[in-house]
Copies of this chain bind each other. A is one copy, B any other.
Amino acid sequence: MKIIDKMNASIKEGKPFFSFEFFPPRTEEGVENLFDRQDRMASYGPTFCDITWGAGGSTADLTLDIAAKMQNMVCVETMMHLTCTNMPEEKLRDALDKLKGYGIQNVLALRGDPPKGQESFTVVEGGFACALDLVKYIRAHYGDTFGICVAGYPEAHPDVIVDDPERMKENYWKDVHYLKEKIDAGADLVITQLFYDVERYFQFVKDCRSVGITAPIIPGVMPIMTYGGFKRMTGFCKTSVPPRIAADLEAIKDNEEAVKAYGIELGTKTCRALLDAGVPGLHLYTLNLEASALAILENLGLVNKAQRPRPLPWRKAPSHKRLAEEVRPIHWSNRPKAYLTRTADWDSFPAGRWGNARSPAYGTLSDYQFMRRHSGSEKRREKARAAWGASLNSVADVVNVFVKYTSGEINVLPWSEMDSLQHETGKIQERLVALNRSDLLTINSQPAVNGAPSSDPHVGWGAGNGYVYQKAYVEFFCSPASFRALEARLACVPSITYMAVNAAGQSATNVPAGAVNAVTWGVFPAREVIQPTVVDPQSFLVWKDEAFALWTEEWGSLYAPGSRSRAVIEDIAGSWYLVSVVDNDYVRGDLFSVLEAPAAAAAPSANGNGASANGSHAIAEPERLAA
- The answer for the CA separation of A525 and B589 in the assembled complex, in Å, is 12
CB of A527 within 8 Å of the partner chain: yes
Instruction: Note all chain B residues with C-beta closer than 8 A to A587.
Output: 451, 467
Residues of A participating in the B interface, judged by any CB pair closer than 8 Å: 351-356, 450-451, 465, 467, 469, 494-495, 497, 511-512, 515-518, 521, 523-529, 531, 534, 582, 584-587
Chain B's closest residue to A585 (CB) is B465
The reply to whether A517 and B527 form a contact with Cβ atoms under 8 Å apart is yes
7 of the cross-chain contacts (CB-CB < 8 Å) are: A352-B356, A353-B528, A356-B356, A451-B451, A511-B526, A518-B527, A529-B529
Instruction: Note all chain B residues with C-beta closer than 8 A to A584.
Output: 465, 524-526
- The answer for the CA separation of A565 and B494 in the assembled complex, in Å, is 61
The reply to whether A518 and B528 form a contact with Cβ atoms under 8 Å apart is yes
Chain B's closest residue to A469 (CB) is B523
If over half of A's interface residues share one DSSP class (helix, strand or loop), that class is named, otherwise mixed; here it is loop
In the complex, how many angstroms separate the beta carbon of A389 from the nearest chain B beta carbon? 38
Count of chain copies: 2
Instruction: Note all chain B residues with C-beta closer than 8 A to A351.
Output: 353, 356
Contact of A582 with B528 at beta-carbon distance under 8 Å, contacts A352-B355, A465-B494, A494-B465 already known: no
The reply to whether B497 and A515 form a contact with Cβ atoms under 8 Å apart is no
Chain B's closest residue to A522 (CB) is B529
In the complex, how many angstroms separate the beta carbon of A550 from the nearest chain B beta carbon? 27
Known: A352-B356, A523-B586. 7 other contacts (CB 8 A): A351-B356, A465-B584, A517-B526, A518-B527, A518-B529, A525-B584, A526-B584
In the complex, how many angstroms separate the beta carbon of A443 from the nearest chain B beta carbon? 21
In the complex, how many angstroms separate the beta carbon of A352 from the nearest chain B beta carbon? 4
The reply to whether A528 and B517 form a contact with Cβ atoms under 8 Å apart is yes
Instruction: Note all chain B residues with C-beta closer than 8 A to A523.
Output: 469, 518, 521, 586
Instruction: Note all chain B residues with C-beta closer than 8 A to A511.
Output: 526
- The answer for the CA separation of A494 and B523 in the assembled complex, in Å, is 15
Instruction: Note all chain B residues with C-beta closer than 8 A to A531.
Output: 528-529
Instruction: Note all chain B residues with C-beta closer than 8 A to A521.
Output: 523, 529
- The answer for the CA separation of A531 and B531 in the assembled complex, in Å, is 11
- The answer for the CA separation of A531 and B495 in the assembled complex, in Å, is 21
Instruction: Note all chain B residues with C-beta closer than 8 A to A469.
Output: 523
The reply to whether B526 and A534 form a contact with Cβ atoms under 8 Å apart is no
The reply to whether A512 and B528 form a contact with Cβ atoms under 8 Å apart is no
- The answer for the CA separation of A518 and B354 in the assembled complex, in Å, is 18
Residue from A497, A529, A531, A534 having most chain B Cβ neighbours under 10 A:
A529
Instruction: Note all chain B residues with C-beta closer than 8 A to A494.
Output: 465
Chain B's closest residue to A497 (CB) is B526
Residue from A351, A525, A531, A586 having most chain B Cβ neighbours under 10 A:
A525
Residue from A356, A450, A585, A586 having most chain B Cβ neighbours under 10 A:
A356
In the complex, how many angstroms separate the beta carbon of A491 from the nearest chain B beta carbon? 14
- The answer for the CA separation of A508 and B521 in the assembled complex, in Å, is 31
Contact of A534 among B512, B517, B528 (CB under 8 A): B528
In the complex, how many angstroms separate the beta carbon of A517 from the nearest chain B beta carbon? 5
- The answer for the CA separation of A516 and B465 in the assembled complex, in Å, is 16
- The answer for the CA separation of A353 and B354 in the assembled complex, in Å, is 11
In the complex, how many angstroms separate the beta carbon of A237 from the nearest chain B beta carbon? 45
Instruction: Note all chain B residues with C-beta closer than 8 A to A526.
Output: 497, 511-512, 515, 517, 582, 584
Instruction: Note all chain B residues with C-beta closer than 8 A to A527.
Output: 515-518
- The answer for the CA separation of A495 and B494 in the assembled complex, in Å, is 36
- The answer for the CA separation of A534 and B353 in the assembled complex, in Å, is 16
